[in-house]
Structure 1
């Protein structure tokens, strides 16, 4: 009887450990900056991308852009910018904003960071595969690591 209780306790402990590890791995991926994001920053929630006048929400892995008279959140860039080079385009790191609507400062951002704006040189967090991009749109898989404007691309198709 003692062996049976010990075996049951061991199974319960093993099941609890497996569940805890699964929860940790899920939490680690929330709010991870994209591979194309600028290296060297922490505690950042948003980038402003002047060339396409859009924001990127790091926590939710979503682009925020103005279209059809309203601000839209999407895992993908709008059609006209699907081929935009996120690795080489400049990203303004918004150090001082942590709310839900960075676009409340859009007029200021647009005036201060015009299309073509380049500040300090930036190095991307991740690397592209042989310096080449794969821009094929993959709307069915938002976790693919392609450089297609889905916020997680590194161009090599691997996580």
Structure 2
């Protein structure tokens, strides 16, 4: 009887292990956010003039200058936690495909000043009640690494 129980337990563990191995995770890495401008499917970065920050589409991270370094974070810094990403203007950086778009920050800051509006934009997705989900938790959420060595 003990052998039968052990055999049954072994079968249950084997079946449950097989079931877990068939679970798939669908992560949208490299997918533009719903607040991103429509019509640009193969872009790496946006520059957000109103908050003087970049958005890395592939990594789903904001890049901004804070505490003397360029910071990568899933959220905007605390002072922009209520920034409306759907209505804010996004400059699509079609011509840059490296890892440090902020190397051109001085030029971007002058060319795309705070309040800059270029061609009218339409967002990829519809705005919903959670439209600021990238910025609401902006306080205290630093990056997983500070790859930036750029200067302000």
TM exceeding 0.5: yes
Q: Which structure has the higher relative contact order (CA within 8 Å, separation 6+)?
A: 2
Aligned counterparts of 1:86 and 1:30: Cα–Cα separation in 2: 19
| Deviation for aligned residue 1:150 | 4.8
Q: Any idea what the Cα deviations from partners look like across 1:31-54, whole Å, max 9, x if unmatched? A: 010000000002100000000000
SS of residue paired to 1:40: coil
Q: Any idea what the Cα deviations from partners look like across 1:35-74, whole Å, max 9, x if unmatched? A: 0000000210000000000000000100000011110000
Give the aligned partner of residue 22 of structure 1.
24
Aligned counterparts of 1:35 and 1:43: Cα–Cα separation in 2: 15
Give the aligned partner of residue 38 of structure 2.
39
Q: Any idea what the Cα deviations from partners look like across 1:77-99, whole Å, max 9, x if unmatched? A: 00000000000000000000010
| Unmatched runs of 5 consecutive residues or more in structure 1 | 1-14, 135-145, 152-159
Are residues 1:126 and 2:111 paired? no
Q: What do you get for the CA RMSD once the two structures are aligned?
A: 2.0
Aligned counterparts of 1:112 and 1:33: Cα–Cα separation in 2: 24
Find 1:149's aligned residue among 131, 134, 141. Answer: 134
Q: Any idea what the Cα deviations from partners look like across 1:99-136, whole Å, max 9, x if unmatched? A: 0000000000001000000000000001013xxx44xx
Aligned counterparts of 2:107 and 2:80: Cα–Cα separation in 1: 22
Between structures 1 and 2, the one with greater helix share: 1
TM-score normalised by length of structure 2: 0.71
Aligned counterparts of 1:114 and 1:67: Cα–Cα separation in 2: 18
Give the aligned partner of residue 75 of structure 1.
74
